[in-house]
Structure formats: structure tokens, C-alpha cells
Amino acid sequence: MPSRPTIARTIPALRRALEGLRARKASIALVPTMGALHDGHVSLVQLAKRRARKVVVSIFVNPTQFAPSEDFGSYPRTWKSDLARLTAEGVDLVWNPDVGTMYPDGFASRIITDGPATVGLEDRFRPHFFGGVATVVGKLFTQVRPDIAVFGEKDFQQLRVVTRMAADLDLGVKVIGSKTVRERDGLAMSSRNVYLTPEQRHAAPILFRTMKEAARRLRAGEDVHAAVGSAVETISAAGFSVDYFEIRHAETLAPITSLRDGPLRILVAAKIGTTRLIDNIAV
């Protein structure tokens, strides 16, 4: 039976646990999460295990990346099953601070992001989001000082923002993206999928199907504008309100006008009922 990971909830406890892990100069991978772990997170942990000797998973629902109108209060918290999954995967350390530990009284500093954080995708609809993500991930990187950190490609803009930040601030961590894990019908795994009603869950794979169809059309020579227009129509007809369906340069996330401007990434965000889903694929 795999042994339960060490659990640290305070900065001194984290330091002690890390000293133990670093003995004999073992490499350390960090997988930052907000808990509510699913098979997508497990695949991040498995990639981390292949790339480093020791694996640290952080579980912290970060209030600063949620707007007051968003789901911070109702975000799923599933500590027991999260811990069981991490134990089964042989994770070494779980870093599980509370809000007061991460943001003590008087906390007044923030990482401001530009570049991939201001390209008009998630930032257009969640203007508070990347400031909160960059600040908490910057803190996690300085607290844990990992050699590598693994993030899901599902949050593609987040992956680009965090990669840029780690390089810009010389944080000494290599950020690695991990492929999106999908349900059998193509829906990208997400902790927020539990919000979907059975009807909405039935409709949700249209996002992936429509991105695949748009990629096919682009490769067949269809104009970007036409491919995007018909994708938005298809997704709207399935009951979604589309925030964006965009084809961007995969590295810079800059807008493009043709397949020749590639490598390209299709990115979508759309709401069904009160649940907002995001997804992306390579063209």
C-alpha cells in the first residue's frame, strides 16, 4: 500500500518537509491545483513523477483569482478523495495552506502580468484572473522552489502566462504543459463539470467537436473568418452563449489571419446555464 503523502499547512512545516525531500539533491516537481482532483490532475502528477524524483502537489482554492460574482464560495472542495488519489499516485508532499497563510493580514503585493495575459481572451472576460493566478503561482514557486512545475494545457492562456512569468522573474523553474485529458465523448475534464445538469452535460462535447471541425476546415483551406463564424453558430445553436471562439498563434496567442501564420491554436470559452467552460486544441 502506498504511504500517505506528508501534509504541510504552514510555511515552517513546508520548509521542514522540503528539506527532507531535498536531501541527496533530489529534483522536485510541483503540480499546483485547487483540489477537486480528477483524472486530468492525475495525468499532471504522473507527468511530474516521470520528470522529477519528488512530487509536491499544492491544493489551494485561491480567492484572488475569482471575481466577487464568481464561484469561489461554491468551488468544489473534496479533500478526502483528493488525498486518496494523491496517495495512490505516490505523491511525496501536499502543500495545503489556508487563506490566512497565503495572504496574511496586511498582504499588499501583487504580480502584474502583460504579454500573453493581455491578448483579449480570458483577460477580456475575467480581468482579475491572471493577476490572481500570477501572484499565487509566484508565491507557490518561491515557497516550494521546484525544479519543474506542471500545468494543464486545458488552461492554455494560463500556461503561457505562467511560463512567461517564471522566465521574466528568473524563478529558476521549468514550466511544462501537459495534454488535456478528455471524457470519452471529448469533453475536457474540469473540476467545474460537476456544475452541469444532465442536459448541459449532454450538450457540452459540442465545444470539442466544433473545434475539431474548424481545424479540419482551416487545414482544407477555409478562410479563418468563415471557420470562426460557422463554429460560433454551431455552439450557440447547442444552447451556449459564446464568450470567444478564436484562432491564435500557439506561442504568442496573437491574432492571425491565415494558416500560414501558424503554429495555430483554437481557443473557446462559452457559458451554458451558469457554467462557463473553456477548451482549446492545436490546428
- Contact residues for ligand PAF (CB under 6 A)? 32-34, 62, 65, 133, 136-137, 155, 158
Q: How far is the CB of 32 from ligand PAF (least distance, A)?
A: 4
Looking at the Cβ atoms of 89 and 155, the one nearer to ligand PAF is 155
Nearer to ligand PAF, 32 or 205 (CB): 32
Active site residues: 41
Q: How far is the CB of 177 from ligand PAF (least distance, A)?
A: 12
Task: Tell the smallest beta-carbon distance from residue 218 to ligand PAF (Å).
Answer: 28
Residue closer to ligand PAF (CB basis): 51 or 192: 192
In the complex, minimum distance from the CB of residue 154 to ligand PAF, in angstroms, rounded to a whole number: 8
Which one, 30 or 272, has the nearer CB to ligand PAF?
30
Three-state secondary structure string covering the chain: CCCCCEEECCHHHHHHHHHHHHHHHCCEEEEEECCCCCHHHHHHHHHHHHHCCEEEEEECCCHHHCCCCCCCCCCCCCHHHHHHHHHHCCCCEEECCCHHHHCCCCCCCCCCCCHHHHCCCHHHHCCCHHHHHHHHHHHHHHHHCCCEEEEECCCHHHHHHHHHHHHHCCCCCEEEEECCCECCCCCECCHHHHHCCHHHHHHCCHHHHHHHHHHHHHHCCCCHHHHHHHHHHHHHHCCCEEEEEEEEECCCCCECCCHHHCCEEEEEEEEECCEEEEEEEEC
